[in-house]
Amino acid sequence: MKKLAIVIALLFVSASFSNILAQAPKAQNPIIFADVPDLSMIRVGDTYYMSSTTMHMCPGVPIMKSKDLANWEMLNYAYDRLGEDDALSLVNGKSNYGKGTWASSLRYHNGTYYIATYAQTTNKTYIFRTNDIEKGDWKMNSFTPGFHDCTLVFDNNSAFLITGGGKLQIIELNSDLTGVKEGGINQVLIENASAPTEPNMLKAEGSQLYKHNGKYYLFNISWPRGGMRTVLVHRADNLMGPWEGRIALQDQGVAQGSIIDTPDGKWFAYLFQDHGSVGRIPYLVPMKWEDGWPVIGVNGKVPETLDLPASKGLIPGIVNNDEFTRKKGEPALPLVWQWNHNPDNSLWSVTERKGFLRLKTGRIDSLFLKSRNTLTQRTFGPVCSGFTLLDASNMKEGDFAGLTAFQRKFGQVGVKVVDGKKFLFMVSNKTDVPTELESLPLSQDKVYLKIECDFRNRIDVAKFFYSLDGKAWKQIGGELKMEYTLMEHFMGYRFGLFNYATKNIGGYADFDYFRISDKIN
């Protein structure tokens, strides 16, 4: 009888444990509710690595790492600076907005990690490589022409790029991947990759190649006229074809990417969705194999939940607080930060005043979008807020400093100096003409600034606040209806710290900290 009781108890415990496991939180889509577009992902052992696009931001081509596909952290960047020309550095009236490096292709081959990408600004193709992706130290080669949305392919001891839109081409590279192979393969791979979704508004692009069970699978995005962003897949027994294609997923506009497997045999497609002003956000979609084809989605749909561990949030892996205090050996800026264009490194510091970021002015700028050294982090959804403490005691006449919701149609809250007096201000660039919506006299040097962003149901509204004591917050100016601009910045909104001069150089603004939250009031 005693043994029977023990068995019953064990069965009860086992059933309870199974029930707990069944009720354990699971990962949800979007897997990253922030601007992380143009994903390229690999798995090496039990670790996943991913590259993405950040356009004109510097450093560029972010590399991220995950152990479970649900929780990601910044690892490094492929480059600190792509070059030193005027457009990359926001000088002489030129800019790199919406350009810089675009979709990349991350690969692991014979013990070396590679990234291939293209920069519209320079019209060059770039190949980065490292033997240790964890430490970075990427070596860069570049060559012309620039191959748009290229995917890097290693096959039969040769290396190729697949590139193009609609008509896809394959180009053979030389043995050290420093340029196009003279006399090598350079031909049309698929004459009309868009055919399964014609007529199209966007022809098939964003190539990503995957080899599985001896077959080649080429994934692309297209956009049927009157329809939505769509995943296309072509397959072939030989890299050079012939290729046959079909629609792989057509739901919620979730598209562009490729596929990845887990060590225990699960398969997912990694894709992204245009999601208004927060940007282009990653999704994971379960998939399986049927008759040699990848079948993406659950009954053709993108699920809300995934059979993966729940996300712990984007803080601190993708975005994070910064008190601007540095220990010996720590980098000057954590990886979550990126500059708007190449920074002028002589005009910022985290050491001149311990525990503060100092932004100094070194030239005259008539407009904010033309000024250098705006330091940014991603906003994220469904809601977020960013806030800082600004010390404006050393600003000069005509200086503007503060916190921005940064995109082409930006909003700002900060301090300006006019006729020797300080004022709080809120500016909106909603109409592409910077318009001051409110200005208030400021009788103290230190002021707290905050921006709240609401991306729920694509509301896409930012609100701006100030506080004189860090406790009581007051809204200033009006709401900003955030808008994702395709032809200019081509990025989701970011929080940014800024300081620029319109009359005199040599002033500076000190920021005590930047803090970020997944809550708004």
- Look at residue 6 in the predicted model and tell me its pLDDT: 53
Domain boundary among 258, 293, 309: 309
Considering the domain architecture, whether residues 80 and 168 belong to the same structural domain is answered as yes
Share of the chain above pLDDT 70, in %: 96
Judge if 290 and 399 occupy the same domain: no
Q: Pick the last residue of a domain from 309, 334, 366.
A: 309
Peptide linkage before 331 cis (omega within 30 of 0): no
- Please state, in angstroms and rounded to a whole number, the distance separating the CA atoms of residues 190 and 39: 23
Cis peptide before 303 (omega within 30 of 0): no
> Do 265 and 212 contact (CB within 8 A), yes or no?
no
284 vs 1 pLDDT, higher one:
284
Domain CATH number, residue 297: 2.115.10.20
Please check whether residue 328 lies inside any domain of the structure.
no
- pLDDT band of residue 25 (cuts 50, 70, 90) is confident
Residues 475 and 400 grouped into a single domain? yes
- The predicted model gives 363-389 an average pLDDT of 98
User: Could you tell me if 283 and 392 lie in one domain?
Assistant: no
| pLDDT at 364 exceeding the cut of 70 | yes
pLDDT digits (tens, 9 = 90+) for 211-226: 999 999 999 999 999 9
According to DSSP, the residues that pair with 130 across neighbouring strands are 113
Separation CA 44–CA 68 (nearest Å): 12
| Neighbour count for residue 212 (Cβ, 10 Å) | 14
Write down the pTM of the prediction.
0.94
Q: Do 76 and 207 fall into the same domain? A: yes
Whether residues 65 and 122 share a domain: the answer is: yes
* Distance, CA of 463 to CA of 478 (rounded, Å): 7
Tokens of 37: 């577009």
Q: Would residue 331 count as lying in a domain?
A: no
Q: How many domains does the chain have?
A: 2
- Asked if residue 105 belongs to a domain, the reply is yes
pLDDT of 5: 52
pLDDT digits (tens, 9 = 90+) for 460-488: 999 999 999 999 999 999 999 999 998 78
pLDDT of res. 16? 45
Question: What mean pLDDT do residues 234-238 have?
Answer: 98
Q: Do residues 247 and 365 share a domain?
A: no
Is residue 436, in this structure, part of any structural domain at all?
yes
H helix intervals, 151-306: none
| 348 and 248 within one domain | no
Q: Do 283 and 398 share a domain, yes or no?
A: no
208 to 106, 245, 269, 272, 407: CA distances (angstroms): 10, 14, 12, 14, 29
Tell whether 286 and 392 lie within a shared domain.
no
| 21 domain residue, yes or no | no
How far apart CA 455 and CA 256 sit, in angstroms, is 22
Q: Is residue 4 part of a domain?
A: no
Residue 86 lies in a domain: yes
Q: What's the CATH number where 376 sits?
A: 2.60.120.200
Mind listing the pLDDT tens digit for each residue in 427-469?
Answer: 999 999 999 999 999 999 999 999 999 999 999 999 999 999 9
CA distance 476 to 440: 9
Give the structural domain span for 38: 26-309
Same domain, 500 and 387: yes
Neighbours of 467 (CB within 10 A): 15
Determine, yes or no, domain membership for 225: yes
Indicate whether 446 and 384 sit together in one domain: yes
Q: Which pLDDT does position 202 carry in this prediction? A: 87
In contact, 403 and 495? CB cutoff 8 Å? yes
Is pLDDT of 365 > 80?
A: yes
CA distance 286 to 298: 7
The closest alpha carbon to 460, from 383, 376, 404, 521, belongs to 383
Please state, as a whole number, how many other Cβ atoms lie within 10 Å of the Cβ of residue 352. 12
Give 172-186 pLDDT, tens digit per residue: 999 999 999 999 999
Convert the pLDDT of each residue in 308-326 to its tens digit. Answer: 999 999 999 999 999 999 9
For residue 488, the model assigns a pLDDT of 83
Tell me: pLDDT of 20 over 60: no
